[in-house]
Amino acid sequence: MTETIPDAAPDLDFDLKGLPKVSLHDHLDGGLRPATIIELAEAVGHTLPSTDPVALGEWFRESADSGSLVRYLETFDHTIAVMQTKEGLFRVAKEFVEDLADDGVVYGEVRWAPEQHLQQGLSLDDVVEAVQAGLEAGVDAVAETGRDIQVGQLITAMRHADRGQEIAELAVRHRNNGAVGFDIAGAEDGFLPSRFKDAFTYLAQHNFPATVHAGEAAGLESIQSALVDGRALRLGHGVRIAEDVTIEFEEDEDAADAEGFDDTVNDTIGMVTLGELASWVRDRGIALEICPSSNLQTGAIAGFGEGIESHPLDMLYQLGFNVTINTDNRLMSGVTLTDEFELLVETFDYDLDDLLELTLNAAEAAFLPLEEKEALVEYINEAYADLG
Ligand SMILES: [Zn+2]
């Protein structure tokens, strides 16, 4: 599927990597360095498909790209296997932050499911504390290089499991120790957010924010449940909200006549109709955490066409939806946020103003207090202004 992603560098007169970025949707167990996986696997006696960092990195990308869900899910068996000790969790979290900073990220929310890291006897609180210690060490390491980054944890429950309430309580318990939000992840189809209705009610009662994976592997029903049962303030992907948007093209005869030629491409008028759900998501500014390359790999956008150019993110963005750009799983997709921006510049001809708007959307949708969001927005605006 990657052959549809152009790899020629765009002709830009600015440094995409240096632009300040905000990352809202990036999984901790999907962003490890291959060399780290190899070292940690050796320490815990876990067997990998390869012990060569380059070959292992390729194995992850090929498996994610194979079109086989079984192979895709197998990749997480290996990353999760090396994240079962405090040492493993600490190191992965620390390097995660350093890698984000190297990509220009100044604010990042890191999501992961504590319940998947208890195989060696650690408790839920142990693993959250180990990851938090690693994230803080990463922030300190970045500061030593003269840069700044701020990160928060999105505590995630797995939808096929039944620990939603426990994980919601865990998240609230750690709200003053790095947890900034809650999410549910894993198999979306067949596991509606309504399964976790009580956990989401508990979170709402504690005024703790939730983003919900919805509109990726399932459609409008899942998005509706995320918003109603999950009280989602943001949608993880949410890309299939585009199924509730109808655009009818009609040839504009007058325009064709007036210009003296008949060009059905240039002289069409699109009649846009939003369903009630799409209207709610757009008009209320519910942020969509779009992950372009991942959406292509997992088939989330298969209903809209084949390549990245048929990704509905551009249509949603042009219609005023609150679109943010993210990576999802940097290891499996072999991408950085810089790569995703580059892809949008190449595919949709986005310029600096577009990238600024998408970045500000993410900053404003961050699970941060207002004062901190305002400071983040100001920092981003100033950095972009310096370019112009
Ligand atoms: Zn995700």
Interatomic CA distance for residues 236 and 215, integer angstroms: 8
Residue 9 has what DSSP assignment? Answer: P
Tens-digit pLDDT profile for residues 346-362: 999 999 999 999 999 99
Taking the centre of ligand 1 as the mean of its atom positions, its distance from the CA of residue 213, in whole angstroms, is 7
Q: Is 178 left (phi over 0), alpha (psi -120 to 50) or beta?
A: left
Sequence letter at residue 344: L
Residue 286 has what DSSP assignment? Answer: P
77 is a domain residue: yes
329 is a domain residue: yes
Taking the centre of ligand 1 as the mean of its atom positions, its distance from the CA of residue 45, in whole angstroms, is 28
Which residues are 211's β-sheet partners? 234
- Cβ atoms 268, 303 nearer than 8 A: no
Interatomic CA distance for residues 65 and 89, integer angstroms: 26
Active site residue 216: yes
pLDDT of residue 346: 96
Interatomic CA distance for residues 241 and 323, integer angstroms: 12
Taking the centre of ligand 1 as the mean of its atom positions, its distance from the CA of residue 273, in whole angstroms, is 28
Q: How many CB atoms lie within 10 A of CB 303?
A: 13
Interatomic CA distance for residues 274 and 258, integer angstroms: 31
Long-range pairs for 50-58: beta carbons < 8 A, 24 or more residues apart: 57/331, 57/334
**What range does the domain containing 314 cover?**
21-385
Nearest residue to 99 via CA among 152, 26, 199: 26
pLDDT of residue 3: 42
Please report which helix (H) or strand (E) contains residue 25, including its range: strand 21-27
- Cβ atoms 341, 9 nearer than 8 A: no
Taking the centre of ligand 1 as the mean of its atom positions, its distance from the CA of residue 165, in whole angstroms, is 20
13 is a domain residue: no
Q: Looking at residues 364-382, what average pLDDT do you find?
A: 98
269 is a domain residue: yes
Tell whether the model's pLDDT for residue 2 goes beyond 50: no
Nearest residue to 337 via CA among 350, 348, 322, 324: 324
15 is a domain residue: no
pLDDT category of residue 263 using cuts at 50, 70 and 90? very low
12 is a domain residue: no
Tell whether the model's pLDDT for residue 69 goes beyond 80: no
Taking the centre of ligand 1 as the mean of its atom positions, its distance from the CA of residue 52, in whole angstroms, is 27
Tell whether the model's pLDDT for residue 260 goes beyond 50: no
Q: Which of 95, 216, 289, 342 is catalytic?
A: 216
pLDDT category of residue 387 using cuts at 50, 70 and 90? confident
pTM: predicted TM-score of the whole model, two decimal places: 0.92
370 is a domain residue: yes
- Cβ atoms 352, 388 nearer than 8 A: yes
CATH number of the domain where residue 244 is located = 3.20.20.140
Taking the centre of ligand 1 as the mean of its atom positions, its distance from the CA of residue 267, in whole angstroms, is 39
Tell whether the model's pLDDT for residue 98 goes beyond 70: yes
pLDDT of residue 262: 46
What is the total count of domains within the chain? 1
Interatomic CA distance for residues 102 and 94, integer angstroms: 13
243 is a domain residue: yes
